[in-house]
Amino acid sequence: MTRMVLSLPALILGSSLLIPFPAIPQANYDVITVKDGGTITGTVKWTGPPVKPPSVPITKNPEVCDPEGLKNRDMERLIVGHDEGVANTVVYLKNITAGKAWDLPENRRTLDQKNCRYVPHISLVPIHNEFAVKSSDPILHTVQMMGAATFNLPFPFQNQYIKRTMEEPGVVDLKCNAGHVWMNGVILVVRQPYITVTDEHGAFHLTNVPPGDYEIAAWHEGWKVVREAQTLDVGTQQMTKRLYFSDPVVLSKSVQVSPNGSATVSFQLTNQ
């Protein structure tokens, strides 16, 4: 049976917005030789009426941030394909304590700021490992990290990496404090490698899973706008509007992996 879990609502203190970052359940993890490992594949699909993704006007550096002249930028909070597949959903095994060696893709462990977007939107970093960030844009960006890691990193120059070690497991929210209020992304700092991000079709796969019974979860960041607030542009010292979103949604199911077997799991997201 599918279960939906919503995190606690955001807390407002004075003029600041304190956003909770509920950690994905994680146990300590040991690398072992997996015998007769199996595979879990599946999809995350959208069900119900379509939802118009939130977007905001591109109000700064349009020559860099808006090369196609679109005037607005999709916040990338909810990406549903023509086949109803939901991209950027994190799928992981809960409370697995031993298994394969780390094999998270390198392109999920580095971040680029390109045309005033975070690429990728969802990053995955093993705990106690470095996360490398650069900017391909010839303008000032300032990456603020909040949650399991707290840094404020300025990027006044192109193509220069800044690295930080992620010491705590959990969720890190990313935003730009240089006036590009549409820039947003997420880092998940994780203890185990049985975690992945769905592609543009909502598809995922986990490989070399030790045989056994598991709980598998699909985590998706919130997409509903719940608050608008004024924020200070550190470059111009002017106030701009920033959107804040609803809490993440977590769906979970039971799955059994047989020796050398293949299990299939499907999830459905809805706006209800």
Confidence of residue 238 (pLDDT cuts 50, 70, 90): low
Mean pLDDT within 70-94: 95
Average pLDDT, the chain: 88
Tokens 């993440």 found at:
248
What distance, in Å, lies between the first and last C-alpha atoms of the chain? 17
So where are the chain's domains? 3-269
Decide if pLDDT at 7 tops 90.
no
Mean pLDDT within 45-67: 92
Inter-CA distances, 130 with 76, 98, 122, 163, 271, Å: 25, 22, 16, 6, 36
What distance in Å separates the CA atoms of residue 42 and residue 86, rounded to the nearest whole number?
Answer: 12
What pLDDT is recorded for position 236?
61
Residue 62's SS3 state is helix
What distance in Å separates the CA atoms of residue 183 and residue 264, rounded to the nearest whole number?
Answer: 34
Residues 6+ apart with CB under 8 A from 258: 38, 211
On the CB side of 175, how many CA atoms lie within 13 Å of its CA?
18
Which range has highest mean pLDDT (17-21, 169-173, 230-234)?
Answer: 169-173
DSSP 206-253: EEEEPSEEEEEEEEE---SEEEEEEEE-TTT--EEEEEEEPPPEEEEE
Ranking 4-18, 32-46, 81-95, 122-136 by mean pLDDT, the lowest is: 4-18
CA angle centred on 256, ends 254 and 258, rounded to 5°: 170
Decide if pLDDT at 242 tops 90.
no
Under CATH, domain 3-269 is a member of which superfamily?
Answer: Cupredoxins -  blue copper proteins (2.60.40.420)
Q: CB count, 10 Å around CB of 18?
A: 10
For 124-165, the pLDDT digits (tens) are: 999 999 999 999 999 999 999 999 999 999 999 999 999 999
Mean pLDDT within 5-34: 53
Decide if pLDDT at 24 tops 90.
no
pTM for the model: 0.87
Confidence of residue 211 (pLDDT cuts 50, 70, 90): very high
Decide if pLDDT at 42 tops 90.
yes
